[in-house]
Structure 1
Amino acid sequence: MQNSEKLNITCKDGYTLSATFYENTQKNQNLPILICPATGIVQSFYRSFAEWLAEQGYQVMVFDFRGIGASLHGPLKKSQASIQDWGQLDIPAAIDALLVKTQKEQVILVGHSAGGQLLGIAPNYAKVAKVIAISGSTGHVKGLKGRTKQLAPVMFNIIFPISSFFKGYGATKMMGMGENLPKNVAKQWAQFCSRPGYVENALGKTIFEDYHQNITCPISVYWSSDDEIATEANVKDLLRLYPNAKTTMHELVPQDLGHKSIGHMLMFKKSHQNIWSMIEKEIAA
C-alpha cells in the first residue's frame, strides 16, 4: 500500500474540501494525477485505483466534492452545493492544491462521469495537461439506454422534487446511485441532462464564464458498450463541446476483456484491473 495523506483544500469561496494524496516512492517527472469523482461518489471508491497509479510512479490526489462524503459540513438538507460549484470552485481548488503539493506546473485530470464533464467552466483549465474521462458523457436523457432510460425521468421529475421538498435533498441512495445529493445538485443534474450539452444548459443563465472554446489539451473518453448513461451518442455530445481540443473515444466491450459487465462504475474496481493498464498508457502517451 502506498503512503497516503489526508488533506484539506480551501476553495476560493472559503469552503473546505476533504482530499487524500497518494505519494509514490519513485522520484520521476510524471505529471501528478487528479481524480475527480462522479456525482454522489465518495473518494474512497477510487482508493484501489489511486494506490495502483501511485505504484506506477504517479503522485495522485482524489477528493470529495462539496456536499458529498467528508466534504459535507453539517446536515445535508442545509447544503447549498451545486454542480456549478463543483466545476467553478472545487475542481480549480483541487488542481491548485495538487500543484502546490507536487511543485509541478500541470496536472492530468482523470474524471469519472461528472468529474470529467466540468473542465469547460474551470477558470484554471490551462493547468490541466490532459483529460481522461472515464464514462464521460453529457448523460442526455434521450441518449440513455436500458433500465436507466426508464428510471432517469422518474428520478429527475418525481423522486428529486418530492425528496427535496420533504427531506431537503435529492434521494439517490435508495436507488443505489451513490450518496444522497444536495438539493441544488439534484436540481441541476436534472436540468443539465434534460437537453444535450450538460453544463452548456446553464451558460448565460447561472454560468457566465465559458472556457470550452479555449481548451486545447487532449481529451480521451473511455466508456463501455454496456454503459446505459455514457452511450456513444452521449459521449459524442460531450466531446463536441471542446471544438479546439484533440479528442479520442475508446469503447470497451466487456466480453473482449473477460468481463460480464463494465457499465458506468466498474472500471475502478479491482476486479477490472486489466483495464487500468489501458488507461495508464493513455495517461503516459
Structure 2
Amino acid sequence: MIIQNSLYVPVGEGYQLHLRHIYQQQKMGPAVLLIHGAVENGKIFYTQSNKGLAPFLAEQGYQCFVADLRGRGGSKPAISKGDKHGQTESIVEDIPAILAHITAMTGKRPQFWVAHSWGGVLLNSVLARFPEEIEHISACVYFGTKRSLYNRHPEKLLKANVIWYMLAFWQVRKHGYLPARQLKWGSDNETRKSHAQSVQWAKRRPWVDSDDGFDYAAALKDTALPPTLHIAGVKDKALAQPVDIRQFMAESGTGIMEITVYGRRYGHQHDYDHINMLTHSAARHDQFSDLLAWFERYRQT
C-alpha cells in the first residue's frame, strides 16, 4: 500500500517548506528527491489518489520526497507581495535544507534526483555551488529542462517573449508578485525576484547569479555531474525543444548525458507536451519505465 505523509522543513525567517513523503512501508528503498519548476508545485509529480511519477516509483520500492519550494504548494506561508526571496534562496537555502532533512530521516542523501522544467536548472545550480553533493547521487532524470530558450517556434514567442518577458512584469508591478495561478499561466505563483531571475537566464544571458555573481557555468565547466537522462516531448514546442535542452546539457559539465524525445513517431503511446509528459496515464509505459531503467542502470546497492 502506498503511503503519503506531509513533512515540513523550516528555512529562512518563519518559512516552512512542504515535503511530501510517498512510499511503501514494506519497501523503503533508495530515496528520490523531486523538484518542480517555475509557476508550479510538487503536485506535478503526484495526486492524493496515487497517480503520477512519485507513486509509480513508490510502487517499485523507492521512497520519494516531493518538494514544494518556498511559498508554493503546501509550503507556508504562500507567496505574497512582501516576499523578497527568489531562485537564489532556492539554490542556497531551500534545497540544501531539504537534503539535510532527508538525510536526518533516512541516514543518507537521496540517491536519485528528478526535476521538471526549471527545477533541473535549480538542481544543477545546487551541484555547481555544492559539488560535494555529486558523490551522493547515482543518477538524475530531468523532464523538459532547459535554461535558455533557443527555439523560435510561434508558441515560444507567445509564451516567453510576450507573456513571460512582458506581460508578467506588468502583473508583478500591479500585484507585487506574479499571480500565475489566478491568471491560469501555471499551477502556482512566483515572487517578483524569482520571476526576474528566471527571465535573465531564459534570455540566454550568462549562467551567473544576480545576487552574488556566482558563475554556475564556470563552476561546472570541467565537472562530471551524475548520469542524467533528459526527457523531451514532441509537442513541447515552446518551453523545452531538444535544441533548448541540448544547450543546457552542453553547459552542464562533462558527465554522462542522454536525451530521449517522446511521441508516437518514436514508438511511444502518446505525443507528450511540457506538462502531460508527467501527468498522462500512458507515461508509466513510456518515460516512467525508461526512468526506472535509468535508475536501475546506475543504482548503487
Interval containing the TM-score (normalised by the shorter chain)? 0.7 to 0.9
- Note if 1:150 corresponds to 2:158: yes
- Note if 1:159 corresponds to 2:167: yes
Aligned-partner SS, 1:78: coil
Partner of 2:145: 136
Partner of 2:212: 206
Deviations 1:61-89 (A, max 9, x none): 10111121222415511222212222222
Partner of 2:269: 258
Deviations 1:196-245 (A, max 9, x none): 66xx1437x63426442434311110111221211111111111122221
- Note if 1:267 corresponds to 2:277: yes
Counterpart pick for 1:194 among 198, 203, 206: 203
Partner of 1:116: 120
* 1:7-26 aligned within 5 A: 7-11=7-11, 15-26=15-26
User: Given that residues 192 and 202 in structure 1 are in contact (C-alpha distance below 8 angstroms), is that contact kept between their aligned partners in structure 2?
Assistant: no
Aligned-partner SS, 2:2: coil
Partner of 2:249: 239
Aligned-partner SS, 1:117: helix
Per-residue deviation at 1:26? 4.0
Deviations 1:242-275 (A, max 9, x none): 222111111112453222x311111221523222
Deviations 1:92-123 (A, max 9, x none): 22222222222234421001111111233322
TM-score by length of 2: 0.83
User: Given that residues 3 and 22 in structure 1 are in contact (C-alpha distance below 8 angstroms), is that contact kept between their aligned partners in structure 2?
Assistant: yes
User: Given that residues 72 and 78 in structure 2 are in contact (C-alpha distance below 8 angstroms), is that contact kept between their aligned partners in structure 1?
Assistant: no
Amino acid at match of 1:195: R
The answer for unaligned runs of 5 or more in structure 1 is: none
Counterpart pick for 1:277 among 273, 285, 289: 289
The answer for unaligned runs of 5 or more in structure 2 is: none
- Note if 1:38 corresponds to 2:6: no
Aligned-partner SS, 1:67: coil
Q: Identity of counterpart residues, as a percentage?
A: 19
Distance, in Å, in 2 between the alignment partners of 1:236 and 1:98 is: 31
Cα-Cα RMSD: 2.3
User: Given that residues 159 and 170 in structure 1 are in contact (C-alpha distance below 8 angstroms), is that contact kept between their aligned partners in structure 2?
Assistant: no
Amino acid at match of 1:172: A
- Provide closer, same or farther for how the CA distance between residues 100 and 144 of structure 1 changes in structure 2, counting only shifts above 3 A: farther
Amino acid at match of 1:164: V
- Note if 1:83 corresponds to 2:87: yes
Partner of 1:224: 233
Amino acid at match of 1:17: L
Distance, in Å, in 2 between the alignment partners of 1:61 and 1:73 is: 20
User: Given that residues 111 and 132 in structure 1 are in contact (C-alpha distance below 8 angstroms), is that contact kept between their aligned partners in structure 2?
Assistant: yes
Aligned-partner SS, 2:236: coil
- Provide closer, same or farther for how the CA distance between residues 179 and 216 of structure 1 changes in structure 2, counting only shifts above 3 A: closer
- Provide closer, same or farther for how the CA distance between residues 143 and 88 of structure 1 changes in structure 2, counting only shifts above 3 A: farther
TM-score by length of 1: 0.88
Aligned-partner SS, 1:132: strand
Per-residue deviation at 1:172? 2.4
Per-residue deviation at 1:194? 0.8
- Provide closer, same or farther for how the CA distance between residues 88 and 14 of structure 1 changes in structure 2, counting only shifts above 3 A: farther
User: Given that residues 42 and 68 in structure 2 are in contact (C-alpha distance below 8 angstroms), is that contact kept between their aligned partners in structure 1?
Assistant: yes
- Provide closer, same or farther for how the CA distance between residues 79 and 112 of structure 1 changes in structure 2, counting only shifts above 3 A: same
Amino acid at match of 2:6: K
Per-residue deviation at 1:57? 0.6
